[in-house]
Structure 1
Amino acid sequence: MKTSYAIIIQAAVWITIWAVFSFTGNTADRLPGFYLLNTLWVLGFIVFFNVFHRMLLPIFFAGKKMLFTGMVLLTLTGYVAYSVVIDINFRIPEKLSAEARKEVRKKAQVPLEYLIIPSIFLGLMLFGAAASVGGLSAFEKKKKSEEEANRRRLEAEIALLKSQINPHFLVNTLNNLYVLSLTEPEKTPSGLLKLSEMVSYILYECAKPMVPLALDIEFIENYIALQRLRLPPNAHLQVDLPSVVPQEIEIEPMILIPFIENAFKHGLTTKTSCELLVSIQLRGKQLTLEVKNPVLPPKPEQSGNPSGIGLANTQQRLEHSYPHKHTLSIHNDGQTHVVKLQINLAP
């Protein structure tokens, strides 16, 4: 498609140049040979331009400067020779009356420099035009190549972050389920069923760059249902999730769950009363997540990294996947830890 488009553009340019040469000025006394001359001129333009643009510029970009210079000089010499031959055989006779043509055909009477210098000048102009077009094409190609490389790099980074989050999440969930099996074994089968659904989501949906928001919220519901099985009596959990989510709205998978997981991991205790809030609001394609949990003294194994790898990686994923389309606020006053995240999910 791009090659066909370039051919059409070139054809339009050359036809326009031929028309300007042929039909501007006083055309009343022009003979048929005049139009043949212009056709030969434009054909010379086309050949020289494309030889330089398509054959010689790649030699230059390949770093073969000496070969490029020699080929340019050779091509320019060939173009000048072609122009001089056309001038001698077509242009000069057309400029004179029929009676004077025989005399002018004596080529020795025409100073050769009058033919060579304009041809060199015109050849250099074509050289500059071809170099400009080739340089612009090379710049655009390099720009697209860099953009593609950056896109692939970002995709690789996101894939790495997601691959780190999934095992991290599963390890935490399995630990919770293990504790549940020891303390309340009758709840373990229900927990295993929820975990099975969550693992299925991770295996079959999280490999995709985007998933329906409805599926991600269903995953969150399963996670919260699993956490309810182990809530201590002193814990109060408030959950507010959208009941209806349009199927066309998509989100990057598992980008919300680390904030929710963090609240359960660091906000539950059996020693004092604790209140947790998980709220997801959807207005149009503007999603708002709010998570609140009490601030508790860090456990010894958590003192070095209280937030865990999941939360840190999620912030990086937000920067990669939703640049300038999200706001994240994390506030900790020593009593309550509050996360507020807004994401514009419009494509």
Structure 2
Amino acid sequence: MNLPKDIQHNEFLIKVPMVIVAAIAAVPIWIAMDFLMNTMHVSNDEAVSTAITVFLMAGIFVGRYFAELLIIHFKDLRGLALAIFSVLVVSSIVLFAQLAFPFEGSPALHLLLYWLPFVISSIMLGMLIKTVRAFGKRELQEARSVAAHNQSELHLLQSQLSPHFLFNTLNNLYGLSLTQHEKIPPLLLKLSDLLRYSVYDSNEIFVPLKDELAYIDNYTEFEKIRIGERLVLKTDMDKPTDPNIKIAPMLLIVFIENAFKHSKNTADELIYIDMSLKTWNNLILFSIKNSFSKSAEEHKIMNKSSGFGLANVKKRLEILYPKDHELTINEDATSYEVILRLKSK
């Protein structure tokens, strides 16, 4: 079957650099062989060195061709490369053993013991080079595929987070409008700032930590107005000014939103929330603890309302901070605590 001219042209362009590289590589190989033949006092050393170099390069190209045929049928290229390397080592040992301890006997057998391991070694070397390159390409393709999948999944998670937050906030505003409508105007102003950040800035993979903390400040002010005197809030938040300290957007707010929501669902007269954030070197330590009632009904409400946000943030942590984060959740009859340690970006 005839290939299209553009494909033939591309294959020619690929083969030409290979031939040039082979020609350049043949020069030091020939010099090394010539030096070896001189050391061994072989007659016609230049002719023998040329023959060895030609056979070696030919064996490498033949080995590359054989490797292409094998690669198609092998999924485990690492195992294939290891098998080829083992054969290469054995044939090389046989060859060097024959050079060190020449066989004294039939000239034909003597020649066979020299050239057979040499040909096998050259073919195995070509196969090993081709297999290792193919393994590297396959690993790179798989890594790119995983990265593309993670990027797509990350954008999906972040796009889900803003509507989730908006849905909860509008529900709170609706309930408040029925009982304390005088609080609605300042809450709407705070909501405007919150939505501006969640819609525009949260599209970035990482944002300055100071921007995320400003967003958290706005949110806590929003909740103070909404909850009123029932809230007992303690905060100890570092205020980094360095824009190079970055974090995934709307990562911490999920835990803070849940703390306010779950505390509000308790039957206690007061709502207790204690949150802190510390930074040192390239580490961020965030913790938040809230009062909590573990009655069956409230526990059911908590699981239903926080399931999406918590699953979302856990998945984002796996994608953005693999092996660079530690999430601990402690729960008892009266309190719920989240501790998050992660490396800043």
* TM-score, structure 1 normalization: 0.71
In the other structure, the counterpart of 1:76 is none
| Match in the other structure for 1:316 | 315
- Partner AA of 1:166 in structure 2: S
In 1: Cα distance, 2:249 partner to 2:126 partner: 49
Partner of 1:280: 277
Alignment map for 1:1-347 (pairs within 5 Å): 14-24=26-36, 26=38, 34-35=45-46, 37-53=48-64, 55-63=65-73, 119=115, 121-268=117-264, 272-296=269-293, 297=295, 298-299=297-298, 302=301, 305=304, 307-345=306-344, 347=345
- 2:98 aligned partner: none
Change (3 A) 1:227 1:14: same
What is the CA–CA distance in structure 2 between the aligned matches of 1:325 and 1:331, rounded to whole Å? Answer: 20
TM-superposed CA distance for 1:170, in Å, is 1.4
Comparing 268-277 with 172-181, greater Cα deviation is found at 268-277
Alignment: residue pair count: 296
Q: Identity of paired residues, percent?
A: 30
Q: 1:28 to 1:138 in 2, by over 3 A?
A: closer
One-letter code aligned to 1:42: T
Output the CA distance in 1 between the equivalents of 2:267 and 2:226.
11
SS of the residue corresponding to residue 227 of structure 2 reads: coil
Residues 233, 30 of structure 1: alpha-carbon distance in 2 compared, 3 angstrom cutoff: closer
C-alpha distance in structure 2 between counterparts of 1:60 and 1:308, whole Å: 49
| Aligned counterparts of 1:166 and 1:239: Cα–Cα separation in 2 | 24
Structure 1 or 2, whichever has the larger Rg, is: 1
Residues 276-285 or 219-228, more deviating: 276-285
The one-letter code of the counterpart of 1:57 is: A
SS of equivalent to 2:304: coil
Give the Cα separation in 2 of the matches to 1:123 and 1:29.
22
CA RMSD after TM alignment: 3.6
What do the CA deviations read for 1:53-104 (whole angstroms, capped 9, x no partner)?
A: 2x5533443459xxxxxxxxxxxxxxxxxxxxxxxxxxxxxxxxxxxxxxxx
**Does the CA-based 8 Å contact 2:287-2:338 persist in structure 1?**
yes
For the structure 1 residues 4 and 194, does the alpha-carbon distance in structure 2 shift closer, same or farther, using more than 3 Å as the test? farther
| Matched letter for residue 53 of structure 2 | V
Distance 1:12 1:245, change over 3 A: farther
Give the residue type in structure 1 aligned to 2:234. Q
Alpha carbons of structure 1 residues 63 and 335: separation in structure 2 relative to 1, 3 Å: closer
- Structure 2 Cα separation of the partners of residues 168 and 210 of structure 1: 20
Q: Tell me the CA shift for residue 198 of structure 1.
A: 2.2
Task: Structure 2: state its 5+ residue gaps.
Answer: 1-14, 75-106
Is the Cα contact below 8 Å between 1:258 and 1:311 reproduced in 2? yes
Distance in 1 separating the partners of 2:299 and 2:40: 100
How far is the alpha carbon of 1:171 from its aligned partner?
Answer: 0.7
Q: 1:116 to 1:178 in 2, by over 3 A?
A: same
How far off its partner does 1:22 sit? 0.9
The answer for unaligned runs of 5 or more in structure 1 is 65-110
Q: Are the structure 2 counterparts of residues 276 and 8 from structure 1 closer, same or farther at C-alpha, using a change threshold of 3 Å?
A: farther
Which region of structure 1 is more displaced relative to structure 2, 134-143 or 295-304? 295-304
Distance 2:176 2:244 in 1: 37
**1:328–1:342 CA contact under 8 A, matched in 2:** yes
> Matched residues in 1 for 2:313 and 2:279: separation?
20
| Distance of 1:264 and 1:5 partners within structure 2 | 65
Residue in 1 aligned with 2:6?
Answer: none
Displacement, 1:295? 0.9
The answer to whether the Cα contact below 8 Å between 1:232 and 1:270 also exists between their aligned partners in 2 is no
TM-score scaled by structure 2?
A: 0.72
The 3-state SS of whatever aligns with 1:127 is helix
Per-residue deviation, 1:13: 5.4
Q: 1:227 to 1:310 in 2, by over 3 A?
A: same
- 1:12 Cα deviation after fit: 7.3
